[in-house]
Amino acid sequence: MKAMLRRKMAEAPAVFIGILVLCCWIAVANAEYKIYQDPKQPISKRVKDLLGRMTLEEKIGQMTQIDRLVASAEVMEKYYIGSILSGGGSIPSPTASPETWVDMVNGYQKGSLSTRLKIPMLYGIDAVHGHNAVYRATIFPHNVGLGATRDPELVKRIGAATALEVRATGIPYAFAPCIAVCRDPRWGRCYESYSEDPKVVRAMTEIIPGLQGDIPANSRKGVPFLAGQQKVLATAKHYVGDGGTTKGINENNTLASRHDLLRIHMPAYHDSIIKGVGTIMISYSSWNGVKMHANRDLITGFLKNTLRFRGFVISDWQGLDRITSPPHANYTYSIIAGVGAGIDMIMIPYNYTEFIDGLTSLVKNNFIPMSRIDDAVKRILRVKFTIGLFEHPLADYSMTKYLGSQEHRELAREAVRKSLVLLKNGESANKPLIPLPKKASKILVAGTHADNIGNQCGGWTIQWQGQPGNVTVGTTILTAIRNTVHPETKIVFNENPDPGYVKSNDYSYAIVVVGEPPYSETFGDSTNLTIPDPGPSIITNVCASVKCVVVLITGRPVAIQPYLTQIDALVAAWLPGTEGQGVADVLFGDYGFTGKLPRTWFKTVDQLPMNVGDQHYDPLFPFGYGLTTVPVRGN
Ligand code: BGC
Ligand code: BGC
């Protein structure tokens, strides 16, 4: 018995050492040097190494983008999902803090990091006028207002501020800028377009180096770029011709010669690529009857081969489904057409197993060649390596301080000041109404948009469609007016006063703030472009008996000609965002008006489409119009 025990104990070290050796061997094998994990290796080598290790399942996962609503750490791990998005309004809660966002994004990321190859997922969001889905973020004017500033350097600074706010929530990727050239204001997305003039849109692609950072001099053109962890990957969208659809109908058909497509809608893509834009999103619209999501000639042929774009191409939301009419009528065909056309990442966004199963079987049965999958995955991995995602997959709270910072609000206020366009100022140039006197006995402020943050921000604010009311933190135009006038000036706010009241109250003057309700995408399509009720009657009721300034809060020119004679001064303020103080800054002469119309202002809708340079051009106010004022001291 004792002998046996002694023998066993003598054997024990040998067994123990054996196990130890095995463990070490496994550990060494696990920690084996992998080129793709070495940040000192060139990106091309890392991509090649990683791609060579991937199974078909892992590759198709990389091509899959899902909405956070259907995401979880488990789903990320199980399906090797490459990317998550927040669709419009897909937010943890309407007032979620930046810390909540960071935790949420990291939670999904941990799922991705527990896969075999530990490829981090890429989280993207629509940050189209600041980090607009997030409570307390700085909301900048929508693009139409930025177009009116004609100030690309300002727009670049807005890009940089937006990048910091997006990173504050742990997100590295923005679906912006929209570089649509809106040729018809009946389009519900016209406010997402900087201008009807391709030259203005081209200049405003300066937002890309703002978001991503400046590409180093002499760097290769067309290669995606990111200047570090304070910057975000950008998206030029929607390729191509989204702003040229017939009658401005959203997602419809752009009828144009190849020459006009290249002359009007394409140039800003060229600029974006030169500036290193990482991703390009495809448009729902068609060009001459062919869905852009299925247009191999323009995606693979022109974008990838001719323009030599090296980032990745992303579909729009359910963009593959919408290749057929009705949408999703033949999803297998949609996958062949969309992936075959050259789309690399698919914004599914919900039914990802249908896509994964469909694409897998199409590849296995040789309907889609492996070379197409490899091209897509290479591009996605190239972008992920470029932005440092493998080295920095998880965010911390160190940047939360940037969200809605005072500095960014000052920048937004500057943008508001420069975006306002003065269309009328009194009966004649020598009897201007603006700058308004700060000292007056009694001023009436009226209108549905005077004291309403949601209305002045428009669509794509917290919710996809935006929403009237107290949706986030900011300064309403009414508050801004109160902040600006002389302490003895009495401000009376009456949203919708009746004519008798206005007449009997002896106001020095009135400021009427009316416009369009918030909307986005197809919900904003309009055939008449009228200001909805009670806007017109507020104008009429107030302007009938007191000198009035009308401030329009709209995403585009609207039908204003019928009221123009009653209005003493008229300001197009577009969709200014949270910093309403910028409106008061110019109304009361602390700063001058400098904005120029980024769009032609029509007389009647039956003139549309009507753009600068057209043969028959008979506008109410021409493209580029805008009266100026000089700042007054001691007002
Ligand atoms: C829009 C895109 C947007 C995407 C994700 C789509 O409906 O067309 O501009 O980036 O949704 O929210
Ligand atoms: C999503 C948006 C998207 C839209 C497109 C909405 O449900 O939230 O992100 O742009 O659908 O139809």
Convert the pLDDT of each residue in 221-277 to its tens digit.
889 999 999 999 999 999 999 999 999 999 999 999 999 999 999 999 999 999 999
Pocket test for ligand 2, best of 125, 321, 464 (most atoms within 8 A of CB): 464
Pocket test for ligand 1, best of 316, 520, 522 (most atoms within 8 A of CB): 316
Inform me whether the pLDDT recorded for 408 exceeds 70.
yes
**Average confidence score pLDDT of the chain:** 96
pLDDT bracket for residue 1 (50, 70, 90): very low
* pLDDT tens column, 83-92: 999 999 999 9
Percent of the chain with pLDDT over 90: 93
**Cβ contacts of 137 within 8 Å, gap of 6 or more:** 130, 131, 165, 403, 404, 472
Q: Which ligand is nearest to the CA of 293?
A: 1
pLDDT attached to residue 24: 54
Point out the ligand 1 atom lying closest to the alpha carbon of residue 192.
9
Task: Give how far Cα 110 sits from Cα of 11, 57, 92, 200, 446, Å.
Answer: 43, 19, 18, 42, 52
Q: What is the rounded distance in angstroms from the CA atom of residue 159 to the CA atom of residue 191?
A: 17
CB of 460 within 8 A of CB of 467?
Answer: no
**Cβ contacts of 273 within 8 Å, gap of 6 or more:** 221, 222, 236, 307, 308, 309
CA of 246 to the centre of ligand 1 (A): 20
pLDDT attached to residue 612: 98
Q: What is the rounded distance in angstroms from the CA atom of residue 599 to the CA atom of residue 184?
A: 9
Q: Residue range 477-494: average pLDDT?
A: 98
Ligand 2 neighbours by CB, cut-off 6 Å: 87-90, 317, 464
pLDDT bracket for residue 634 (50, 70, 90): confident
Give the least confident one: 58-62, 110-114, 214-218, 569-573: 214-218
Residue nearest to atom 4 of ligand 1 (CA): 317
CA of 348 to the centre of ligand 1 (A): 12
Here the contacts of 396-401 (C-beta below 8 Å, separation 24 or greater) are 396/102, 397/98, 397/99, 397/102, 399/164, 399/167, 399/168, 399/230, 400/97, 400/98, 400/99, 400/102, 400/168, 400/169, 401/168
Q: Which ligand is nearest to the CA of 90?
A: 2
Residue nearest to atom 2 of ligand 1 (CA): 316
Q: Among 350, 444, 465, which Cα is nearest to 85's?
A: 350
Give residue 345's Cα distance to chain centre. Answer: 18
pLDDT attached to residue 5: 47
Question: Is-catalytic flag, 407?
Answer: no
Q: What is the rounded distance in angstroms from the CA atom of residue 196 to the CA atom of residue 342?
A: 28
SS3 446: strand
pLDDT bracket for residue 8 (50, 70, 90): low
* pLDDT tens column, 140-156: 999 999 999 999 999 99
State the catalytic residue, choosing from 521, 525, 579, 585: 521
Residue nearest to atom 8 of ligand 2 (CA): 88
* pLDDT tens column, 339-389: 999 999 999 999 999 999 999 999 999 999 999 999 999 999 999 999 999
CA of 88 to the centre of ligand 2 (A): 5
Task: Give how far Cα 136 sits from Cα of 133, 456, 588, 628, 635, Å.
Answer: 9, 15, 27, 33, 32
State the catalytic residue, choosing from 197, 316, 579, 585: 316
Question: Is-catalytic flag, 618?
Answer: no
pTM: 0.95
Pocket test for ligand 1, best of 237, 280, 317, 523 (most atoms within 8 A of CB): 317
Residue nearest to atom 5 of ligand 1 (CA): 87
Task: Give how far Cα 2 sits from Cα of 5, 6, 13, 343, 413, Å.
Answer: 5, 6, 18, 74, 89
